[in-house]
Amino acid sequence: MNIINYIRRSNQGFSPWVGLFFFFLFLSLPVMADNNVMLRKQQNLAKWNIAGANYSGITHIGGTHYAVVDDKDARHTFRIFSFDIDSLKGKVREASLVDEVGGEHSVSDAEGIAYVPGRETLFVSDEANQRVVEYTTEGEPTGREFAVPEEFGKDAIYGNYGFEALAYSKKDHCLWTTTEHTLKADGNMTVPGDTTGCMLRLVSFDDKTMKPLHQYAYRMDAPRAKKKGRNYAYGVSALCCLDDGSLLVLEREFYVAKRYLGSWVRHRIYRVAPSQSQQIESLHEIPVDVCMNKTLVAEFCTRLNVIKHNLANYEGMCLGPRLADGRQTLILISDSQKNYGNRLYHIKDYVRVILIRNEE
């Protein structure tokens, strides 16, 4: 049913509040790039008695198990979750916290995590210090970490906008990351009202030598927000590698209204193909005409307003299992800032599944 036409056909006794309800409902509908993608409804982790936290990265480690990092948990390296996903519909049937792994560790701001099956180790990105450190499955450091070039160092980033996204490519045997926002050398920070999105560098690292391999220029969409609110976050929060070597990039824009009501988070997932893109040189200015071509996979917006109370800030993304019909599942996890809010309303931790029919 066309919602707009329904509203137009309604006449006597039609309340303007009903019209307002349908208007906000229409705005909050998810956008899929084509029929090969389906978004499942987000599910609150609290329904499975999982406590609120600061979940910021997720990676599949085998079976129903996933490793998840919390960017404010200094007691554990990562946590192990189980997500039982229906093989026909792709819905999470059951979720549980299986274990909390590791103790005191060298990463102070864990944002991204990626599992390397060939080594049976996990890499964790430290946004605050611009490090990516390797750990055993018991959460202990192996002594290896990325040889991060000076141009990506701690002094080269804007505050709280360093390495957040992290993903492993089984096809190319490398790990991918990027700064959440542009480097200082590549431009000013993007703010509400800007008409151009920021420029990022997607960079890969060899899984054996830990040295950087390739860099590619990636241009984010211009911000949707037009004015400054109480708070604002804009950047790439997650990456995911597909089996063919292409990447999924999660662009996230989080606008917090001055009085909270009216806040929203806009999520856009794009696909890019490094093998079909032109590499860029380190320490050189990025030419505008070499940005990666990106294809929209899915878009959705979560909100806090008089109609919608589903505000969710998704910061983790990884591949899940394939369904019986061959569709690939993509699992997203949100950061509630440990259920930030009050008794009347607080942000919740959600898991969301997106179904991708093919990767062609």
pLDDT tens digit sequence for 276-287:
999 998 877 888
Mention every residue, 6+ apart, whose C-beta is less than 8 A from residue 108: 74, 126, 128, 129
DSSP bridge pairs for 33: none
Please check the confidence at residue 347 and state whether its pLDDT lies above 80. yes
Q: What are phi and psi of 81, to 5 degrees?
A: -110, 155
Q: What's the pLDDT at 1? A: 38
> How far apart, in whole angstroms, are the C-alpha atoms of residue 265 and residue 250?
12
- Within the chain, what is the greatest distance between any pair of CA atoms? 72
CB atoms near residue 79 (< 10 Å): 22
Q: What angle do CA 232, 235, 238 make, to 5 degrees?
A: 125
> How far apart, in whole angstroms, are the C-alpha atoms of residue 125 and residue 304?
30
- Characterise 191 by phi-psi region: left (phi > 0), alpha (psi -120 to 50), beta (else): beta
Q: Which of 239, 264, 256, 174 is nearest to 212 (CA)?
A: 174
State mean pLDDT over 9-33. Answer: 48
Q: What's the pLDDT at 341? A: 83
Q: What are phi and psi of 80, to 5 degrees?
A: -105, 125
Contact by Cβ (8 Å): 180, 171: no
Q: What's the pLDDT at 358? A: 64
Structural domains of the chain in order of their starting residue, each with its CATH number: 1-30 (no CATH), 33-356 (2.115.10)
Q: What's the pLDDT at 286? A: 86
- Side-chain half-sphere CA neighbours of 24 within 13 A: 16
> pTM, whole model, 2 decimals?
0.90
Amino acid at 7: I
State mean pLDDT over 128-157. Answer: 95
Q: What are phi and psi of 233, to 5 degrees?
A: -135, 135
Q: What's the pLDDT at 288? A: 77
> How far apart, in whole angstroms, are the C-alpha atoms of residue 56 and residue 42?
16
Average pLDDT, rounded, for the chain = 89
| Collapsed DSSP state (helix, strand, coil) of residue 56 | strand
Question: How would DSSP label each residue in 167-221?
Answer: EEETTTTEEEEEESS-BGGG-PPP-TT-SSPPEEEEEEEETTT--EEEEEEEEPP
